Amino acid sequence: MIKQIFLLFLVYSCMAPEGPEQALKNYINYRFSGEQKREKLVKMSTGSVKAQIETMSEVNFNSLYKTSDKKLKRVKINLKNCSEEKCSITYTLSFATFKGEVETFRSEVKKIAEMVKVDGSWKVSDVTNVKTYIDSKGPISP
């Protein structure tokens, strides 16, 4: 009986709709995946983020969204303020930048993401940088 209840709970939790925090984490993980496609980023966004992605030239898109030299270390949700249709999430993003196999920088960026519910799913509408901390692993040369 307990196994059946646990199995039912597990199936139900997997079918639960994605909340704003999970939608943001999925967007961030995809941004650091290195295999980014403009179409998928457009599907995950709305508002000014979507407009920026759609109107950006291919050269700018490839340079701005290139993350092959970066590795995501951590995403921490610091604060969220949500209503039924909108959610403001303050989070800290930590990542490392590599040159070849060598880590050259460690960065920590505090951001605020505005999430909006569109047709039943949460999408990234706007992202604002609040504070950035960069730790160089060696001397910085121009």
Q: Is the dihedral of CA 46, 47, 50, 51 positive or negative?
A: positive
Q: What tens digit of pLDDT does each residue of 27-39 get?
A: 999 999 877 899 9
Q: How far apart are CA 115 and CA 124, in angstroms?
A: 5
Single out the residue of 125, 132, 129 nearest to residue 27, CA to CA: 125
- Structural domains in the chain, sorted by start: 18-136 (3.10.450.50)
77 near 46, Cβ under 8 Å? no
Q: What tens digit of pLDDT does each residue of 78-125 get?
A: 999 999 999 999 999 999 999 888 999 999 999 999 999 999 999 999
In this prediction the pTM is 0.81
Q: What tens digit of pLDDT does each residue of 43-63 get?
A: 999 999 999 999 999 998 888
